[in-house]
Amino acid sequence: MSSTTPTAPPDPPPNASPEEIEAHIEASRERLASSVDALTAKLDVKAQAKQKARETSAQAKEKARETSERVQAGAQQFGEHLYVIDVASDAAPRKLDLPMTTRTPNFLGPTGAEVVFRGVASTKDGVKSGIFAIHPDGSGLRPLSPTDGDRDNDYQFPQPSQDGRYVTYTEWSPTANQLRIHLLELTSGEDRTLLSEKGQGWASFSPDSKQIVFLRFVGDTRQVFVQPVDGSAPPLAMGPAYPGGDQDLGGTFSPDGRSMIVKNMNVKESRLVDVASGGDGHVLDWAKDGFTGWQRLAP
């Protein structure tokens, strides 16, 4: 660290006037004060350290802000996207150019002419989520719901019915502090919530589109239930209640909709349950490691 000490003014001549002598004294006083201030600043190590720390902190905050902006831009650029694969050829997967990130794609019944998915996009109100549909060739993008949901908690796990009439999805309700299931009627746009005192979510449809299977949460337990779409009957339990997370438990309808496989990967157990009567069903000893799916036999 270097500093410049003010140069001392020359002495007044012997025959100087009182005014000149007074000016000399004032100049000397200013030089002395300036020298003292410079020396004090040079020797005040603690003050210098604090100033250096403030400068370093400001630089670190600015760098963190720039890094955060780069990460957010990268997340928007490299998010989840829709790809179309022609399984009858060796062509590479083709990404659909969409103004949003996507998740949970499913073909919309009964023809499969559109793909239904959850999208997250930038809107005038910020980054929001919604449910959309698009043709596999990338044309005809359209919203099935408003794009007004929380980017993380709303319009989760959209599942279309096989007849193409409904889409069910799950949302987190902050006021109720629980998950809730919605039924979106695509023709009218009516969005109906399946109210329950218990949290429930992750629904999907039966093959005839008349029932849904979903998880219900009671305390630390999870249980599979089935309920008619029209609400004509109360939910019916499929299998026992299990402890554990949502990802460990699920129910799959048989192709005729009469039976259900309830599988729990946490306890390595699969059960066959009659959909009409419900209950615990019976354990499939040969399916401890899970159940991949059903196959309808030709008549």
Residue of 173, 58, 171 whose CA lies nearest to 118: 171
Residue of 238, 237, 236 whose CA lies nearest to 272: 238
Q: Is residue 216 part of a domain?
A: no
Q: Is residue 240 part of a domain?
A: no
**Residue 56's pLDDT band (cuts 50, 70, 90):** low
**Joined tokens for residue 251:** 């129910």
135, pLDDT greater than 70 = yes
Q: For residue 250, list its beta bridge partners.
A: 263
Q: Strand 142-143 vs strand 126-134: parallel, antiparallel, or unpaired?
A: antiparallel
- pLDDT value of position 14: 58
**Joined tokens for residue 268:** 């390595």
Domain count for the chain: 1
Domain ranges, residue 70: 18-75
pLDDT in tens, 155-210: 999 999 999 999 999 999 998 899 999 999 999 999 999 878 889 999 999 999 99
Q: Is residue 36 part of a domain?
A: yes
13, pLDDT greater than 90 = no
**Joined tokens for residue 44:** 């005040």
Q: Is residue 53 part of a domain?
A: yes
The CA distance from 58 to 273, in Å, is: 63
Q: Is residue 145 part of a domain?
A: no
129, pLDDT greater than 70 = yes
Do residues 151 and 142 lie in contact, with contact meaning Cβ atoms separated by under 8 Å? Answer: no
Q: Is residue 32 part of a domain?
A: yes
Cβ neighbours around 204 below 10 Å, total: 18
- pLDDT value of position 34: 52
Mean confidence (pLDDT) of the chain = 81
Q: Is residue 90 part of a domain?
A: no
The CA distance from 135 to 108, in Å, is: 10
Task: Region of 89 please: left (phi>0), alpha (psi -120 to 50) or beta.
Answer: beta
Lowest mean pLDDT: which of 35-44, 74-83, 279-288? 35-44
63, pLDDT greater than 50 = no
User: CA geometry: angle at 45 spanning 43 and 49, to 5°?
Assistant: 150
Q: Is 224 helix (H, G, I), strand (E, B) or coil?
A: strand
Lowest mean pLDDT: which of 74-83, 92-101, 157-166, 223-232? 74-83
The CA distance from 234 to 69, in Å, is: 49
Do residues 274 and 259 lie in contact, with contact meaning Cβ atoms separated by under 8 Å? Answer: yes
Q: Is residue 173 part of a domain?
A: no
Rg (CA), the chain: 36
Mean pLDDT, rounded, for 113-127: 95
